[in-house]
Structure 1
Amino acid sequence: MPTPLLPPPLPAVPDAASLRRHERSHTVERPHVCGECGRGFPSRRNLRRHQSTHAGQRSFPCADCGRVFTQPSSLKMHSRTHAAGGSAGRSGVHECPECGKRLSDARSLKRHARTHTGERPYVCAECGSDFPHASSLKAHARTHTGERPHCCPLCGKRFAHLHSLKSHARAHLGERPHACKICRKAFRNKWNLKRHLSTHSGEKPYACAECGRGFLQFSNLRTHARTHSGERPHACEQCGKGFAQLSGLKIHAKTHTGERPHACEQCGKGFLHRSSLKVHERVHSGERPHACAECGKGFSQPSSLKIHAKTHTGERPHVCEQCGRGFPNGRNLKRHLATHTGEKPHACAECGKGFLHLSNLKIHGRVHTGERPHACDECGRRFSNLSDVKKHYRTHTGERPHVCGECGRGFTSVCNLRRHHVLHTRDHPHECAECGKRFSLLSTLKNHLRRHRQRGTPGPGQPGPGPELGGADGRVAGARWAGGGGGGGGGSARWRRPALIRAAGASARNCCLTPRNFG
Structure 2
Amino acid sequence: MMQSPLKASTDNSDAPLSCKVCRALCGSTNVLIKHSWSHVDDPERLCGVCGEEKESAEELKSHLHQSHQKTHSCNICGKCFLTVVGLNRHATLHTGERPYKCDICHKAYTLKSTLRLHRWEHVEEKPHKCDVCNQSFVFKQQLRIHSRIHTGEKPYRCDECGKSVSDFRSLSRHKLGHAGEKRYSCQVCGKRFLTPGKAKQHEKIHTDRDKTHLCDVCCKAFHTGGQLKAHLKTHSEEKIVCSECGKGLSSQGALRRHMMIHTGERPYGCSDCGRTFNCRNILRAHLKTHSGIKPFVCGVCGKACARKEHLTVHMRTHNGERPYQCTVCDKAFTQSHCLKTHMRSHQGEEQSAVDGQKS
TM normalised by structure 2 equals: 0.53
Map 1:235-314 → 2, pairs under 5 A: 241-242=148-149, 252-255=154-157, 279-282=177-180, 287-292=181-186, 295=188, 297=190, 299-302=192-195, 304-314=198-208
CA distance, structure 2, for counterparts of residue 350 and residue 324 of structure 1: 32
> Alpha carbons of 1:388 and 1:337: their partners in 2 closer, same or farther (altered >3 Å)?
same
**Which residue is equivalent to 1:204?**
101
Q: Decide whether the 8 Å contact of 1:206 with 1:218 is kept in 2.
A: no
Match of 1:399 among 290, 293, 299: 293
Shift, 1:352, TM fit: 0.5
Q: Deviations over 1:40-77 (max 9, x none)?
A: xxxxxxxxxxxxxxxxxxxxxxxxxxxxxxxxxxxxxx
Shift, 1:404, TM fit: 5.4
Q: Decide whether the 8 Å contact of 2:241 with 2:247 is kept in 1.
A: yes
Secondary structure of 1:372's counterpart equals coil
> Alpha carbons of 1:415 and 1:507: their partners in 2 closer, same or farther (altered >3 Å)?
closer
Secondary structure of 2:273's counterpart equals coil
CA distance, structure 2, for counterparts of residue 372 and residue 201 of structure 1: 39
CA distance, structure 2, for counterparts of residue 423 and residue 223 of structure 1: 56
Q: Deviations over 1:154-206 (max 9, x none)?
A: 799xxxx979xx9x965534499xxxxxxxxx93349938978x976866344
Q: Decide whether the 8 Å contact of 1:175 with 1:188 is kept in 2.
A: no
> Alpha carbons of 1:194 and 1:259: their partners in 2 closer, same or farther (altered >3 Å)?
closer
CA distance, structure 2, for counterparts of residue 510 and residue 499 of structure 1: 17
CA distance, structure 1, for counterparts of residue 73 and residue 291 of structure 2: 44
Shift, 1:381, TM fit: 2.1
**Which residue is equivalent to 1:172?**
70
**Which residue is equivalent to 1:220?**
118
> Alpha carbons of 1:376 and 1:411: their partners in 2 closer, same or farther (altered >3 Å)?
same
Matched, 1:508 2:349: yes
Q: Deviations over 1:189-234 (max 9, x none)?
A: 49938978x97686634465xxx854572522546999x9855754
**Which residue is equivalent to 2:4?**
120
Greater helix fraction, Structure 1 or Structure 2: 2
CA distance, structure 1, for counterparts of residue 218 and residue 85 of structure 2: 50
Shift, 1:402, TM fit: 3.6
Match of 1:363 among 250, 254, 257: 257
**Which residue is equivalent to 2:214?**
319
Map 1:450-461 → 2, pairs under 5 A: none
Map 1:129-168 → 2, pairs under 5 A: 132=8, 151=34
Contiguous gaps of at least 5 residues in structure 1: 1-116, 122-129, 177-185, 244-248, 261-271, 427-439, 449-478, 483-492, 512-519
Secondary structure of 1:241's counterpart equals helix
CA distance, structure 2, for counterparts of residue 370 and residue 190 of structure 1: 41
Q: Decide whether the 8 Å contact of 2:294 with 2:304 is kept in 1.
A: yes
Q: Deviations over 1:90-127 (max 9, x none)?
A: xxxxxxxxxxxxxxxxxxxxxxxxxxx95119xxxxxx
CA distance, structure 2, for counterparts of residue 416 and residue 155 of structure 1: 64
Contiguous gaps of at least 5 residues in structure 2: 18-24, 40-47, 51-63, 75-82, 127-132, 161-169, 353-359
> Alpha carbons of 1:390 and 1:352: their partners in 2 closer, same or farther (altered >3 Å)?
same
**Which residue is equivalent to 1:192?**
89
TM normalised by structure 1 equals: 0.39
Match of 1:386 among 280, 303, 309: 280
Q: Percent identity?
A: 20
Secondary structure of 1:280's counterpart equals helix
Letter matched to residue 295 of structure 2: P
Q: Decide whether the 8 Å contact of 2:241 with 2:249 is kept in 1.
A: yes
Letter matched to residue 84 of structure 2: F
Shift, 1:150, TM fit: 5.1
CA distance, structure 1, for counterparts of residue 253 and residue 203 of structure 2: 25
Higher-Rg member (1/2) = 1
Letter matched to residue 335 of structure 1: A
Q: Decide whether the 8 Å contact of 1:403 with 1:409 is kept in 2.
A: yes
CA distance, structure 1, for counterparts of residue 67 and residue 299 of structure 2: 55
Map 1:70-109 → 2, pairs under 5 A: none
Matched, 1:350 2:244: yes
Secondary structure of 1:351's counterpart equals coil
CA distance, structure 2, for counterparts of residue 235 and residue 384 of structure 1: 40
Shift, 1:368, TM fit: 1.0
Q: Decide whether the 8 Å contact of 1:307 with 1:328 is kept in 2.
A: no
**Which residue is equivalent to 2:232?**
337
CA distance, structure 2, for counterparts of residue 235 and residue 189 of structure 1: 25
CA distance, structure 1, for counterparts of residue 212 and residue 118 of structure 2: 24
Pairs aligned (count): 277
CA distance, structure 1, for counterparts of residue 135 and residue 306 of structure 2: 40
CA distance, structure 2, for counterparts of residue 412 and residue 155 of structure 1: 61
> 1 or 2 for the larger relative contact order (CA 8 Å, sep ≥6)?
2
Shift, 1:400, TM fit: 2.3
CA distance, structure 2, for counterparts of residue 423 and residue 206 of structure 1: 58
Secondary structure of 2:287's counterpart equals helix
Map 1:429-468 → 2, pairs under 5 A: none
C-alpha RMSD over aligned residues: 5.8
